[in-house]
Amino acid sequence: MLSQVILKIKRKENSFYSFLYDLGKFVLSFNVPSIKPIHLPLYHLDHLVKEGLRWFISVFWAVPLFKARCEKVGRNLRLPNGIPYIVGSHLKIILGDNVIIGRSTIGASKVFDEPILRIGNNSSLGYGTTVSVAKEVIIGDNCMIAPGCIIMDSDDHPIDPQKRLLGMPVEKEEVRPVKIGNNVWIGANCVVLKGVTIGNNSIISAHSVITRDVMENSIYAGNPARPVSRDIGKTL
């Protein structure tokens, strides 16, 4: 019955339903007027309370719990968005000093017994990044991984359709570790595929797909990514 009345209102079937439609639209779009001397201090108070609560939860809950899950953690770990989502209890996570991990997904496949994720000193994983580890993913020192990236050392599923139907993992020989060097900047929404090594000081432009090794001191862009600048220490 109610759904029929709502439908009549949406159709504006007569003047009464048209009135109800306009009234509903007015109510839904209504805004309380903003009085800056009153609402601006309240805005800052709201921000302060939320940031303080986020800090408290991170320091006294998220960081200690996540440290307990890791194999080794250096100093000053920061988890600004809470505990990353971890898939696979057999995954070994080794972190250096001053690592920052946003709300990320870190998963391990069932191919190898002890897959390893290593993140070096002063490196960060952006919000929404996914790291899939079958054997080993290494991220060096001073790396910036922007939001929404995907890093994986396998295809995650077999190429053979019958094996996929059976839910089988990829073969061990199909796994190829990923190594990201030092001082690498990977832009937003990039994909780094299996077997890739990214050289020191290189930059990967946003939305690029890395299918092959990246030379040091270079800028790569595109799908598949190609070098657009080399020896950036001289060109920048």
Question: What is the four-CA torsion angle of 75, 80, 86, 89, rounded to 10 degrees?
Answer: 30
Q: How far apart are CA 161 and CA 35, in angstroms?
A: 62
| Contact residues for 47 (Cβ-Cβ < 8 A; gap 6+) | none
Q: How far apart are CA 36 and CA 90, in angstroms?
A: 54
Q: Give yes or no: 207 in active site.
A: no
Q: What is the dihedral sign for C-alpha 138, 92, 124, 103?
A: positive
3-class DSSP assignment, residue 48: helix
Q: Which of 44, 90, 157, 207 is catalytic?
A: 157
Q: Do residues 190 and 173 touch, judged by C-beta distance below 8 A? A: no
User: CA separation (Å) from 96 to 14, 114, 126, 143?
Assistant: 68, 19, 16, 12
DSSP letters for 7-26? HHHHHT-SHHHHHHHHHHHH
Instruction: Tell me which residue has tokens 């939320």.
Output: 50
| Contact residues for 165 (Cβ-Cβ < 8 A; gap 6+) | none
Q: Which residues are catalytic?
A: 157
